[in-house]
Amino acid sequence: MSKAAFPVNDLLRRRLQTSLTLISLTVCVASTLFLLLFSEQVGLGITSVAANTLTVGYWAIFSNFLLFVGILIFAVGAVIVSFITFLMMVQRTRDFGLIKAAGCPNSLVVGYFLTELLIVLFAGCILGVALGFLTDYAVINMGAFQAFQKTPNVWYAPLVFVAFFVFGLIFGLKPLEAAARLSPIAAISPMQYFGLNEGNKFKALSKSRLTLKIVSRSLFRRQSATVRMVVFLSTVFILLTVSIAGSIIASDTTASRIENAVGKNTLLVAHKDMVNQYTSLLSKFSGATAKTDFNYLDQNFALPDDVFQELNAISGAANFEKRLFYEGRIQEVMNFTFSDSATIPVGADREADSLIVGIEPENVLSEWFMEGRFPKNSSCFEAVVGDSIAAITFEIPLLQSFRMQNATLNVVGVCLDPINNGIVVFVPFEMLKTLNNVSNPNLLLVQLDSSTDLSSIILELQERLAEVNSDLTVFELNETLEKNVGFLEATWSVILFLPFFSLLAATLCLIGYLVLAIDEQRHEFAVLRVMGAKPATVLTILAVQSLIVLFSSFAFGISLGVIITLLILMAQPVVTSFTILAISGWLLAALVGMFLLSLWPAVRFAKKPILEIMS
Amino acid sequence: MSLKTSDLVVATDSLNKVYHLADVEVEVLKGITLKVARGEFVAICGPSGSGKTTLLNIISGIDKLTSGKILVLGQDLTVQDEDFLADFRCNHVGFVFQSYNLVSTLTVAENVAFPMEWSRKAEEEVETRVAKLLETVGLQHRENHFPAQLSGGEQQRVSFARALANDPELVLADEPTGNLDTKNGQKITQMLRMLKANGKTVIVATHDTELMQLADCTACLEDGRLAS
């Protein structure tokens, strides 16, 4: 055999191990590359704020999750690469000893196995880059994300390639270097081959049944590999929990906030052009555009008093809210705050165009998720600002005020409202009337009783409004609400999908771990079979090992994942019993799926004849 | 030939075993006809590669024959499934390997006890039996040690104790003294003598002349055939 052919032949000889290593490496590289490409393309990138969709507050929640999931995916990738290269090289320690014992110089043996490592790393990284691009292309062409198609940033490919290649090389070289230092006799010893502990002095679970005794002691004997596996799987389960629990809780929470802000069972009554403009402003949240030269204060849009009389006559309409919309410019007013008896300036004199909405504070249908409070009454000079305008124009909004048409209003609250993507200020209606010399609102929100038949009341309302003004129309906001909530759900489902690759890689590594366990214990299993153990007993011993490793990682990963999700990433989460059921279902499905797939080598092994195992 | 003889523990008729190694067919056993009566001590001798281990493997149900017939304790092992064979080996056959083959994760006492756990014996019964067996092989002071902490001779004695755990009717030993020095080999021979005295049916594959002298009859294999 030529010197050059040895590494290739050796990799081909260990087909299962080589395939597992290659696939694991490929999915790690692919998942990281996909995350970078996709997040940038959708415009919710970790480094770039593309504010055409989602309000700043919503983007911040999503971005935090994406950043955290990104860090975890990279961490999982790093741990996987370190684990699989460790596993790959540790299992060559014995061969290292054998070749050295046969008289081959140390440098040549190192060269053989280093070449193997380089081949696997190169092939895995290349395949991963290709799979990453393919997955990104496939996902971006799915219905929900077609609006975000743009050329992917190809520079991520060399970045991810180099990062994982170097990482794999560092972790692969460590056991290789350790093997090179060993004498041939020590390298041949099973102690080295399986990374076992010296001796067998730990009598774990002495009082338990035979299966548990063998399982617990084998796990302790393979301490090095077991600890690595538990650390690695724990990271995967943290990632899974943050992704699954996080995306479900965040999806429910943000959807609930949107519903509360827009209003459920709410009708919109306004001039038909005003209705179109309002719905476009609401849909900017999910990527739509609204007219920029729209004259909100056109006299035709003012709702006559007759409209309110007609509405009062309708049964089933529980509440009304009058709103006056227009566009204006607001200017930040600088303020001061005190800290340790020093005066610190807050803000500057930034300006921005904003949607200005006049509301009656005592008669508001929206239940915003907000920081601060509502204006005290209809004529005070206080305002609530949207989260986006708060981020763009103010430094500490609740300590500041702004000027608008020669009036100065104190900011008393910051709210999450999808309208105009959060570039909105809510000010008392009476004050706006004075400033703009208008007396009537240009839009009316009507909240219906939940028991009301929606279609019949719309029909009745249409007829009554037609008598007042044929240009007035009724619009059901549920449609726009569903569109926004649907967009949010689609966005969160991306996070739900992101750990799929890591989960796949983790399953493959768990299979790799069981292959190692089988390799290490194969002779003992053969002896047990000769002494009367049934194939099912061998399968049980391997299955329990897999379960213990999985469950210990699961318990640690889930606990930490939940803490991260609820205490760090999501303020005031909406958690219903259905949310808990959904999260438990997903996590259990992942656990059961991983467990069943990990049994594949064990099932294959248990079926083998005793002599084949012994040979 | 009829194999249904109640006094026979092992009966084979024209037993053949062929291994297929790549494109090569290797005939390991050729037409072996052998009868071992209850309480008989049989030594199987022959040079390396003559088929001794294969014959023991087939008798214990670890391996399947290619053609011919075999009855062990009245059971035709060729038609049984793995679960039956496992139970059969656990309860009726004790096996001693040349290389001891103790389970390294279990202590001496646990190694002796585990075949009894599979045959669902009561805990007290298992403890009493383990103590008695370890006393018999002179290793009661080593019960909590792991195999790696024992010498080769001690490991082989544990292996004997394990083989006798379920008080099997048939004990098979594959070159039990092959890896031992003279002193330890004599201890094993002593144990086999004790088994013979207790009326156990024993089949030993061996090169050891001392063991052959102990046997009631000796079957020599040469190139897969019974020479005598």
| pLDDT tens digit sequence for A175-221 | 778 777 777 766 665 554 444 444 444 444 444 578 888 888 888 87
> Residue B161 and residue B140: Cα distance in Å, rounded?
11
- pLDDT above 60 for A328: yes
Between chains, do A611 and B57 touch, taking CB under 8 Å as contact?
yes
Residue A528 in contact with partner chain B when CB distance is under 8 A: yes
CA gap A53, B57 in Å, rounded:
73
Q: Supply the ipTM of this predicted assembly.
A: 0.86
Q: Buried (b) or exposed (e) across A431-470, using 16+ Cβ within 10 A?
A: bbbebbebeebbbbbbbbeeebeeeebbebbeebbeeeee
The structure's pTM equals 0.72
Closest C-alpha among B132, B137, B128, B110 to residue B194: B137
Q: Tell me: the pLDDT tens digits for A67-99?
A: 777 787 778 777 777 777 777 777 777 777 777
> Which among A203, A532, A537 has the least Cβ separation from residue B89?
A532
Which residues in chain A have Cβ-Cβ distances shorter than 8 Å to B103? 214, 524, 527-528
Partners of A199 on chain B (C-beta within 8 Å) are: 146, 148-149
Closest chain B C-alpha to A109 CA, distance in angstroms: 30
Residue A215, exposed/middle/buried by CB under 10 A (0-12, 13-18, 19+)? buried
The 3-class SS string of A207-243 reads CCCHHHHHHHHHHHHCHHHHHHHHHHHHHHHHHHHHH
| Separation of alpha carbons A424 and A402, rounded Å | 13
Query: What is the spatial distance between Cα A368 and Cα A259, in angstroms, rounded to a whole number?
Result: 9
Mean pLDDT of B209-218: 88
Q: Which amino acid, A284?
A: K
Instruction: For B160-193, give one letter per residue: b (16+ CB within 10 A) or e.
Output: bbbbbbbebbbbbbbbbbebbeeebbebbbebbe
Say if A542 is an interface residue toward chain B (CB within 8 Å). Answer: no
Domain ranges of chain A: 1-193, 197-262+480-615, 264-476
Distance from B13 to chain A by nearest Cα, in Å?
A: 23
pLDDT at A51 over 70: no
Q: Which among A527, A540, A611 is the top mutation candidate for probing chain B, defined by the most B β-carbons within 10 Å of its own β-carbon?
A: A527
Q: What are the residues whose beta carbons fall under 8 Å from the beta carbon of A321, sequence distance 6 or more?
A: A359, A360, A363, A364, A365, A366, A444, A445, A447
Tell me if A535 and B146 make a contact (CB, 8 A cut-off): no
Average pLDDT, chain A: 81
Hey, are the CB atoms on B101 and A530 less than 8 Å from each other?
yes
**B95 and chain A in contact, CB less than 8 A:** yes
What whole-number distance in Å separates Cα of residue A283 and Cα of residue A508?
A: 43
With an 8 Å Cβ cutoff, are A532 and B62 in contact? no
Nearest Cα to Cα of residue A59 among A383, A412, A418: A418
Do A240 and A478 form a contact (C-beta atoms < 8 A)? no
Amino acid making up residue A538 = V
> Could you tell me which chain B residue has the CA closest to the CA of A526?
B101
**Helix and strand numbers, DSSP H then E, in chain B:** 7, 9
For residue A209, the chain B residues in CB contact (below 8 A) are 117
Sheet with B170-174, strands from edge to edge, namely B93-96, B170-174, B201-205, B41-45, B217-222, B225-226
* pLDDT in the model for residue A52: 54
Q: What is the amino acid identity at position A288?
A: A
How is chain B split into domains, by residue range?
8-224
- Residue B174 vs residue A66, higher pLDDT: B174
Architecture of domain B8-224: 3-Layer(aba) Sandwich (3.40)
DSSP assignment letter at B75 = B
Q: What single-letter DSSP state applies at residue A196?
A: P
Q: Where are the alpha helices (DSSP H) in B22-166?
A: 52-60, 82-92, 108-118, 123-136, 152-163
φ and ψ at A341, to 5 degrees?
A: 55, 15
The model's pLDDT over A222-265, given as tens digits with 9 standing for 90+, comes to: 777 788 888 888 988 888 888 888 788 877 887 887 788 777 77
Are A245 and A565 within 8 A, CB to CB? yes
Q: What is the mean pLDDT of residues A371-395?
A: 85
**Cβ B119–A532 below 8 Å, yes or no?**
yes
Is the CB of B87 less than 8 angstroms away from the CB of A534?
Answer: yes
Predicted confidence (pLDDT) per residue in A114-171, tens digit: 888 899 899 999 999 999 999 888 877 776 566 666 677 888 899 889 988 988 888 8
Alpha-carbon span A219 to A546, nearest angstrom:
10
B118 touches chain A (CB under 8 A): yes
B106/A217 Cβ within 8 A: yes
- Angle A97-A610-B106 (CA atoms, 0-180°, nearest 5)? 70
CA distance B217 to A223: 50
Residues of B in contact with A531 (CB under 8 A): 89-90, 95, 114-115, 118, 162
The reply to whether B104 touches chain A by the CB within 8 Å rule is yes
Q: Do residues A87 and A232 lie in contact, with contact meaning Cβ atoms separated by under 8 Å?
A: no
A201, A217, A531 ranked by CB distance to B89: nearest: A531
